[in-house]
Structure 1
Amino acid sequence: MRGRSWAMYKSSHSKPLLLPFWLSRIFDSMTLTFLDGHTVPRWFWPLLLGLNLLLHLPFFAQPPNSVHVWRQSNTMAVARNLYEEDMNPLRPRVDRRNDSDGVTGMQFPSYEWVVALGYKALGFHEAIPRVVTWLIFAAGVVAFYALVKLLTSSAWLAAVGAWGLSWSPELFYHSINALPDILALSAAIAGLYFFLRWYHSRLPVLFWLSLLLTTLAGMTKLQYLVIGFPIAVLIIRDLWQRRLTWRRDAVPLAVFALVAVGCTLSWYAYAVRLIEQSGLADFGLELRPATSVAVAIKTLTHNVVSDIPELLINYANFGLLLLGLVAIGRGRYYRSSWFGPVLVWALALLAYHLIELRQMAVHQYYMLPYLPVLLLPVVLGAGWLVRRPRWRWLLLLLLVAQPVLAFVRIAPPRWMGGAREVPPELFDAATRAALDNAVPDSALCVVGPDESGCKFFYFLHKKGFGYDESAQLFQPGAGGQPYLATCIQRGARYLYTNDTTLVADPRLRPYVGQVVKRVGDFQVLALRPAASPAVTPSR
């Protein structure tokens, strides 16, 4: 480490940096300590978690914003409804509920319930979901460190894995968003870690921790139950090699499989039934393969060329990933006892990707389950570099580049510069409050045009009937009368809209009374309680 290559690197860079002598010595000491390939210095965790928190800190107070803001809004609406109406997680409620109680099916609202607990303890504030998500994310990073250390027997490789996971741009973005996938990811990683610990030690507390976390991961997001595949391969292999005994191992393994899979499938069957009963399909619980071969090829190409290297693992990690894949072949890692389980894990994720390929075109957070598998070759690539002193400068460059690339890719386009994918009147606190307070929260409203069916409702803190586009208000429904007339008959009292052409439409006049509030392009209009205009029966 103190040889000629490192000395040349240090001398060639010390002058341009113009660091004070004492700071330069500290920097040299830190890099030399970490780049020995063995030591995880005491400053590693404060640096990793502290830097990550510091880069996120300016954005904790933001309301839902930017990419996938509809998903954030729906998640936070369910959490707010748990807080305001009923803390029963078996009856999650949405805002676009028509004249019903809003109960519908979704993934198990574990994350939403934790956020609602935060609201109960501290009052409603939109920073609470962000803080909750970041704490869950941090726990997942620690769990991944423990998992990699268990698999590789190297604390240093585990630290590289934890560092890489922290600076995935997609995870960097969602690690402070109201997204249940972060809870599912962290629970899945921890569940797998505790299972492997139990598998070798047979300590009961590890078994129950693993079962709880694995079941929680699957119920929160079904795709995270995929960690069962490496577990299954491990068990089948050890049965084949007679390392397991039926008398000792059959019962706990059967209980683990039945509870984890049974609870997950039972919840989703119950959720589908709730959707059918309510008719409220805010959360899709179906498979979404590509619509054609051409679309599939286009989506897969974009995933491989752009989504995975740029958004999912970070360009700096992508270089280490390529090195790691080469190292697997040249270093004969395929002979490792973990190669088979990890390979099947990867193949199961590939099958999931193809089954949900339509979602992968725009929903990159559906790929978050891939991170643990993709980062395992990354740590092998880092290990290959650190064993070659003349290339340690490149490893240092790639590690330092990761937080820079993650922040630059996410913060300016998504969090800086105000409202993104949200009307400015709803994003600004003052104008949002004016629209919220225009009518009682208990009044049923017709809200739109909002294709998501949830953004406007969440920001306005209203419930009732939604519409995707203004023309939908005048389209006849099953009873032959316009949709807006049906909404009024079912109890709607106010119309919220930011479509300025709709307000001038003569077809709207018979249904509306006075303008209650104007804020920017938004208008709140009282709906006439009288019967809708007569509809000429079709002949």
Structure 2
Amino acid sequence: MFGTKSAVLVIASIAVAVRLIAINQPFIDRWSWRQSDVAAIARNYSENGFHFARPQIDWAGNAAGYVGTEFPILPFVAALLYKCFGVHEWIGRIQGVIFFTAALPFFFLLVRGLFGVTIGIWATFFYSFAPLSVVASRAFMPDMPSLSLAIVGLYFYLRWLQRGRASALLTAGLCTSIAVLIKLPTAVIGAPLLYLTWQRFGWRLWRQPEVWIFAAFALVPPAIWYWHAQEMAARYYPFHFFGGGGVRVMDLAWYWKIVRQTVGSSLTPVLCLAAAAGAFLTPRGKYARVFQWWCAAMVLFIVVVGWGNRHQWYQLPLVPIAAVFGGIACRFATRRLAGYQRAPLVFSSVVVLLFGGWSLASVRPFYESSAAGLRDLGLELKKITPRDALIIAADDGDPTVFYYAERKGWHFLGDGVY
């Protein structure tokens, strides 16, 4: 048991250290526009009053700029911290690292409980160092916090099914509710939850009051919030709802691009090959197909929300799924090689080195500056314009210039000012 704890602790320690590299990097990387919007909401809370239910962006000109967003607890907490430490990028970025770190033990325990220690360690390793996991967990965005809460919720829901403790059900409902509140697509976690419930109760699930209580606890608060967010988007200029318009089925070339992106930079070919094999090698067990259900739901989500999945972070839940399948494949391989001296160790070392090297190569481009010019422009505008000046920026919709200028204004796009 000491060896298992040590392995998980080493993986977690290195994973956290990797994510702290350049933690105070300006929001000028590939995902600059999404992070700049979240950061602007945080600063507007700090400067304009902590009106939680009215998040504001910077690109609505002289209007208030209220928008419909996910439950804005992350920028709200950042705004509170700004009052103590000042405005710094690390305050926003560190939130994802904290959520990832807090959920990692629960991910290991979930996988270990279903498939054993070896698969649990392999899955934790793959989940910790997959490129998309590294990048998303150091971004000032709700995706990794939401996924982390969903994983914790899944773990405690399974605990409730196995042991019947009300505290586990309450924790599962709370985590799932917050996960969906801060990122609506995380509702896809309902597929594996439904599978677990079916495996436990069958058709009797409809007669289980605890299941209905959990569903109400998990879904009613998000329903109330997103109704409010839609009302905000409909009432106030620029009439924007974050993530709106993403439900659109695209052509095959579009989905092939997502596949190539997932294999090439989100997961790495090493993990994808292992996951493809592991998906068909899943050990038998009452709840063993839970990740197949999650995977099927994610594939359906990517197809139906084709346009929305132009953003790579929407595929983030594929990382824990692939990590588990990859772990299953690696355990299968090491068991087959057990009869050969040192073969399992050699195999494991090769996988670790190949995956680690490929992941490093895939992560590096995400750190490169793609919006440095917009930041430089914003900082210059901050110097030369009055505090109440309005600006028009030809920025392809990236609000980075507004954030670093600390000015309001409009985007100047190809089809007009917005």
TM-score (norm 2): 0.90
Give the structure 1 partner of residue 34 of structure 2: 71
Secondary structure in structure 1 of the residue aligned to 2:62? coil
Is residue 305 of structure 2 the alignment partner of residue 356 of structure 1?
A: yes
CA distance in 2, matches of 1:454, 1:125: 17
Letter in 1 for 2:355: Q
Higher relative contact order (CA 8 A, sep 6+): 2
Matched, 1:299 2:249: no
Instruction: Call closer, same or farther: CA 1:146–1:85 in 2, change over 3 Å.
Output: farther
Contact 2:161/2:200 (CA < 8 Å) preserved in 1?
no
8 Å contact 2:281–2:329 — kept in the other structure? yes
Question: 1:56/1:254 Cα in 2 relative to 1: closer, same or farther (>3 Å)?
Answer: closer
Residue 96 of structure 1 contacts residue 453 of structure 1 at CA under 8 Å; is this kept in 2? no
**1:383 Cα deviation after fit:** 0.9
For 2:409, what is the secondary structure of its paired residue? Answer: strand
Task: Pick which of 180-189 and 166-175 moved more.
Answer: 166-175
Q: Aligned match of 1:54 in 4, 17, 29?
A: 17
**Cα 1:440/1:149, change in 2 over 3 Å:** farther
After TM superposition, the structure 1 = structure 2 runs for residues 301-450 of structure 1, keeping only pairs within 5 Å, are: 301-304=256-259, 306-328=260-282, 333=283, 335-360=284-309, 362-387=310-335, 388-389=337-338, 390=340, 391-392=343-344, 393-411=346-364, 413-416=365-368, 419-423=369-373, 426-427=375-376, 433-441=379-387, 443-450=388-395
Residue pair 1:167, 1:314 contacting (<8 A) in 2 also: no
Tell me the residue number matched to 2:198. 236
Q: 1:436 to 1:299 in 2, by over 3 A?
A: same
1:324–1:378 CA contact under 8 A, matched in 2: yes
Write the mapping of 1:20-169 to structure 2, written as runs, cut at 5 A.
Answer: 40-152=3-115, 154-169=116-131
Asked if the contact 1:39–1:156 (Cα under 8 Å) also holds between the matched residues in 2, the reply is no
The one-character-per-residue Cα deviations of 1:148-181 (angstroms, maximum 9, x if unpaired) are 11222x2232121111011111121222111111
Contact 2:272 2:322 in 1 (8 A): no
Match of 2:100, as an amino acid?
Answer: F
Write the distance in 1 (CA, Å) between the matches of 2:317 and 2:247.
17
Q: Deviations over 1:417-465 (max 9, x none)?
A: xx323316x25xxx75443233343x04123012215121112111133
Unaligned segments of structure 2, at least 5 residues: none
Partner of 2:281: helix, strand, or coil?
Answer: helix
* Amino acid in structure 1 at the alignment position of 2:324: L
Report the AA paired with residue 383 of structure 2: N
Q: How far apart, in 2, do the equivalents of 1:226 and 1:117 lie?
A: 31
User: Which residue identity is paired with 1:423?
Assistant: G
Distance 1:233 1:414 in 2: 35
Larger gyration radius, structure 1 or structure 2: 1
Measured in 1, the distance between the counterparts of 2:397 and 2:211 equals: 43
Q: 1:218 aligns with which of 180, 190, 203?
A: 180
Q: Distance in 1 between the 2:164 and 2:175 partners?
A: 17
What's the secondary structure of 1:59's corresponding residue?
Answer: coil
Amino acid corresponding to residue 278 of structure 1 in structure 2: Y
Structure 2 match to 1:173:
135
How far the C-alpha of 1:245 sits from its partner, in A, is 10
1:479-513 deviation per Cα after TM superposition (whole angstroms, max 9, x unaligned):
xxxx9xxxxxxxxxxxxxxxxxxxxxxxxxxxxxx
8 Å Cα contact 2:246/2:306 also seen in 1: no
User: Are 1:192 and 2:144 matched, yes or no?
Assistant: no
Distance 1:270 1:286 in 2: 18
| Alpha-carbon distance in 2 for matches of 1:257, 1:407 | 40
Give the conservation status (yes or no) of the 8 Å contact 1:172–1:406: no
Instruction: Report if aligned partners of 1:190, 1:210 keep a CA contact under 8 Å in 2.
Output: yes
* Consecutive unaligned residues in structure 1, runs of 5 or more: 1-37, 474-482, 484-539
**Does structure 1 retain, via aligned residues, the 8 Å contact 2:391–2:407?**
no
Quickly say closer, same or farther: Cα 1:254–1:381, change in 2 above 3 A: same
Structure 2 residue identity aligned to 1:403: G
The one-letter code of the counterpart of 2:237 is: G
Query: Pairwise mapping of residues 250-265 of structure 1 onto structure 2 (< 5 A)?
Result: 250-265=208-223
Change (3 A) 1:394 1:340: closer
Write out aligned runs for 1:511-526 (5 A): none
Aligned position for 2:237: 279
- C-alpha distance after superposition, 1:240-294 (max 9, x if no partner): 376x795xxx332111112312222222222111111003216232343234xxx
Letter of the 2:285 counterpart: S
CA separation in 1, counterparts of 2:328 and 2:177?
30
Counterpart AA for 2:384: A
Indicate the residue corresponding to 2:397 in structure 1: 452
Q: What CA distance in whole angstroms lies between the structure 2 residues aligned with 1:241 and 1:104? A: 42
Q: Which moved more, 1:190-199 or 1:203-212?
A: 203-212
Give the CA deviation at 1:372.
2.5
Shift of 1:193: 0.6
- Partners of 1:241 and 1:85 in 2: CA distance: 52
Higher helix fraction: Structure 1 or Structure 2?
A: 2
For 2:14, the aligned partner's letter is: L
Q: Deviations over 1:205-263 (max 9, x none)?
A: 22221111100111111111122222223323433376x795xxx33211111231222
The size of the alignment, in residue pairs, is 412
**SS where residue 103 of structure 2 aligns?**
helix
Contact 2:161 2:197 in 1 (8 A): no
